[in-house]
Amino acid sequence: MKLALVPAIAGVLVTCPALAQTRAVSPPLKAVRSAIRSATVEPAASGFVSGTQVYPWSDGAIFTGYAAPGLVTDIGLQPRESLIAVASGDTARWVIGDTTSGSGETQQTHVLVKPFSAGLTTNLVITTDRRTYHVRLVSTAGTALSSIRWTYPQDELLALQRKAAIAEAALPIARGVAVDRLHFNYEISGDKPAWRPLRAFDDGQRTYIEFPASIESSEAPPLFVVGAGGDAELVNYRQRGRFYVVDRVFDTTELRLGRKKQQVVRIDRVSPTSKRRGA
């Protein structure tokens, strides 16, 4: 009788493959389960703002939403974010819809979910014009999140960077410059690339080189000071918007860009005396 148990157990495993799978999980399935566990984000007490669970947005994360029969859980998207599609793994036992609130700058899309019973688990994929949300839905007997929202750290950082750039662009190129000391007698010669300077001037202490507006979004040429012997030396400067600011006054400088086919623009400071002689 004892010997007969071995083939009997083997027969059970053959007729019930699910039982065999629970005993030995393949490495790929283990990897999938481990990755999903690591990516899943659960509600936290510190994440509640009143009754709303606010998650920090992270691409690829799976956000958990708890729902209950007879209650609607509101999943709110970013203001002015346009909904493209909503897909769920279980549309037979979950009611899923969407609506909007507000208008203009405050318009917001809401995805509404409600389960038919407790003990259900499914997933929700929400695609918009900005990102894709992955939500794990779990239904309980009576505990549900009233609403879910997100903060968007990357968007907030970009907004701060744009604000800082606008503030910097509004600043004057230099402070305390006496207009009567400005010297505009500079000659610009050489090649004519898209970044060719519009003009150059100095205040007796610093030199300013003005470029077309496109210089802020294109490759900027390095600046070289040309000595009396013709030797070129790279000079330190700072870029303020479409201006180069050099903390010195030079007689001759060159802007050079490229290696094989180098573009060179020469800038010469012309003294009032030499200009009168050439007149």
What would the pLDDT profile of 63-73 be if each residue is shown by its tens digit?
999 999 999 99
Give the tokens for residue 179. Answer: 């207009």
For residue 170, the model assigns a pLDDT of 60
**pLDDT < 70 positions in the chain:** 1-23, 165-180, 272-279
**E strand segments, 132-236:** 132-139, 147-151, 186-190, 199-202, 207-210, 223-226, 232-234
- The confidence score (pLDDT) of residue 178 equals 62
| Per-residue pLDDT, 268 | 93
3-state SS, residue 82: coil
- pTM for the model stands at 0.56
Please give the pLDDT value at position 16. 53
pLDDT of residue 88: 97
Torsion of CA 225, 226, 229, 233, to 10 degrees: 40
